[in-house]
Amino acid sequence: MTTLAPVKPPDQERAFVPRILVFSTNNISDPGIDLAGSSHMTYSPGVVVISMPCTSGIRPSWILHAIEGGFDGVFIASDGDECAYLSDCSTRASRIVAQAQALLQQGGHQPQRLKMAAICSVCAEPFTRHVQQFGQALAELGRSAVAS
């Protein structure tokens, strides 16, 4: 069982729980993420999910909006090659990530605040591991420039 313990940076008193917005998909990654819950695994309560039909429908501007609004990171739980809609979904998703990272950089944010991994419909353990590792990486990166 994986846990994400709040990481306390040495120079700060309050425990820093990175806020992560996950873009998931209704048919592929949602079932995997739900399975983590029904298997009573655990990850940080700083992780919240918005579900879409398909990874290729995510607007890069939403990712910038999330970071500017105060999320420390955005994780795209993508369909990968399993997408039932688009055979080139992975290629499209990579393009969206590249565009979003460019937007982040233009806005003065580290591109590492965006991460993507394919999460399948039974990928409960990989999902918890990914968000835990991403949370740790974000904790090391420090708070987002805009987070209070």
Partner 1 sequence: MTGRERRIGVYVCHCGGNISDHVDIDQVVAAAQAETGVVVARQMMFACSDSGQGDMERDIKEQHLDGLVVASCSPKLHVVTFRGVAKRAGLNPYEYTQVNVREQASWIHSDDEQSTTDKAISLVKAGIARTRLSEPLEPLVVETTQKTLVVGGGVAGLRAAIGLADIGLGVFLVERAAELGGWVGRFDEMYPTGKNGRALIASLITEVRRRPAISVFTGAELVSKSGSFGNYRVGIRIGGSTPETLSVEVGSIIVATGFETYQPEVGEFGYGIEGVVTLPEFKEAIDHSSGPLMYHGTPVRNVVYVYCVGSRQSADTPAANAYCSRYCCAATVAASVQLASRDAQVHQYHLYRDMRTYGKFELMYTESRKLGSVYLKFADDAPPAVARDDSGRLVVTVRDLLTGGEELAIAADLVVLVTGMIPRKNEELVSVLKLPLGTDGFFNEIHPKLRPVETVVDGVYIAGTCQGPRNSSESVASGLAAVTQSAVILKKGFAELDPLVAVVDADACTACGLCLDACPYGAIEMTLGEGKSVAIISETGCKGCGGCVPVCPDNAIDLRGYTDAQISAMIDSLLEVPVA
Q: Which residues pair with 74 in a beta bridge?
A: 21, 114
- Choice between 98 and 105, CB closer to partner 1: 98
CA 134, 44, 135 angle in degrees (round to 5)? 15
Rounded Cα gap, residues 11 and 140, in angstroms: 12
Figure out which of the listed residues 76, 77, 83, 138 binds partner 1, where binding follows CB under 8 A: 83
Least CB distance from residue 7 to partner 1, whole Å?
13
Least CB distance from residue 80 to partner 1, whole Å?
9
The mark string for 26-65 relative to partner 1 (x by CB under 8 A, - otherwise) is xx--xx-xxxxxx-xxxxxxx-xxxxxxx-xxxxxxx--x
**What distances in angstroms separate CA 25 from CA 42, 50, 76, 130, one per listed residue?**
20, 8, 9, 16
> H-helix or E-strand containing 96?
helix 89-106
Interface residue list for partner 1 (CB under 8 A): 15, 17, 19, 21, 26-27, 30-31, 33-38, 40-46, 48-54, 56-62, 65-66, 69-71, 81-87, 89, 92, 96, 99, 121
